[in-house]
Amino acid sequence: MRVLVVEDDPDLNRQLVTALSDVGYAVDSADDGEEGHFLGDTEPYDAVILDLGLPKMDGISILEQWRRNDRNMPVLILTARDRWSEKVAGIDAGADDYLAKPFHMEELLARVRALLRRSAGHAKNEIECGPLRLDTKMARLTVDGVPVKLTSHEYRLLSYLMHHAGRVVSRTELVEHLYEQDFDRDSNTIEVFIGRLRKKIPSDMIKTVRGLGYCLSADEDAG
């Protein structure tokens, strides 16, 4: 899952990037409105954390333009404390959730998880697919109830596939959603990680769909 942070306070920006990276997201960040707007307009993010008070372009205008351009990723806005009118304006502009500053990082992480789940159509923290059970809160996988250790890249990959189980996901889509903007994006590495995952879960669960990509499914039928 790839997340964008748009926040001009350098300390808060850094804290957000660190906290989100630590729990396994690929994180890009911008510290002014123009750059944030550009990134959200051109890169595919699974969720965005958007401060409203920003230099060069304010958060409400950014959000309105994204929505006008059909950029529909979930957006959580950060508002100043006690400014109820900001929250209303933000939600009207297309925000999916908000947090007033100052906030606890744990609450922000919980809200981001909820946004990602809901946008993928899941209501709970735990996502299941056949024998796989992924606890997105603890970033833990069990296969038939047995804990399986994953590296952070393996976790990101499996988490994305499980959020989109049953759908064919192209290699390009995976590269775009698993890595930060500046990462050396060699799509061959995806194949390597798929190979490693297949050794950790029932190997026939991730199907290669020739020319299209991969599909995670609990279905035994090779289709």
Distance CA 205, CA 8 (A): 43
Q: How far apart are CA 136 and CA 114, in angstroms?
A: 10
Q: How far is the CB of 53 from Ca ion (least distance, A)?
A: 4
The tokens describing 41, both together, are 């307009």
Q: What residues have CB less than 8 Å from 64, skipping those under 6 apart?
A: 93, 94
Q: How far is the CB of 88 from Ca ion (least distance, A)?
A: 18
Pick the closer one to Ca ion by CB: 50 or 197: 50
Q: From the CB of 8, what's the least distance to Ca ion, in Å?
A: 5
What is the C-alpha separation between 122 and 5, in angstroms, rounded? 23
- Residue 15 engages Ca ion in binding (rule: CB under 5 A): no
131 near Ca ion (CB under 5 A): no
- Count of chain residues binding Ca ion (CB under 5 A): 3
Cα 80 from Cα 100, distance rounded (Å)? 6
Comparing CB distances to Ca ion, the nearer of 53 and 94 is 53
Is 53 near Ca ion (CB under 5 A)? yes
CA dist., res. 204 & res. 188, Å (int): 20
Applying CB under 5 A, among 46, 51, 96, 154 the residue interacting with Ca ion is 51
Q: Is the CB of 8 or the CB of 128 nearer to Ca ion?
A: 8
Binding residues for Ca ion (CB under 5 A): 8, 51, 53
